[in-house]
Amino acid sequence: MIKNFLKTLLIVAFFGVSTVSYAQFNLKKAIGAATKTVQAVTLTDQQMANYVKESVQWMDEHNPVLPDDNPYTQRLNALTDGITDADGIPLNFKVYDVIDINAFACPDGSVRVFSSLMDIMNDDELMGVIGHEIGHVMKRHSKEAFKKQLLSEAMMDAVGSTSNKAAQLTDSQLKDLSLAFINAKYSQKQEKEADECGYDFLVANGRNPWGMVMAFEKLQSMEGDSGAKQSYISKMFSSHPETKDRIKKMSEKAKKDGYNRPVANE
**HEC assignment per residue over the chain:** CHHHHHHHHHHHHHHHHCCCCCCCCCHHHHHHHHHHHHHHHHCCHHHHHHHHHHHHHHHHHHCCECCCCCHHHHHHHHHCCCCCEECCEECEEEEECCCCCCEEECCCCEEEEEHHHHHHCCHHHHHHHHHHHHHHHHCCHHHHHHHHHHCCHHHHCCCCCCCCCCCCCCHHHHHHHHHHHHCCCCCHHHHHHHHHHHHHHHHHCCCCCHHHHHHHHHHHHCCCCCCHHHHHHHHHCCCHHHHHHHHHHHHHHHHHCCCCCCCCCC
Query: Of 54, 61, 125, 133, which one is the catalytic site residue?
Result: 133
**193 catalytically annotated:** no
Q: Are 28 and 10 in contact (CB under 8 A)?
A: no
Closest to 133 in 3D by CA, of 184, 57, 71, 72: 184
Supply the residues annotated as catalytic. Answer: 133
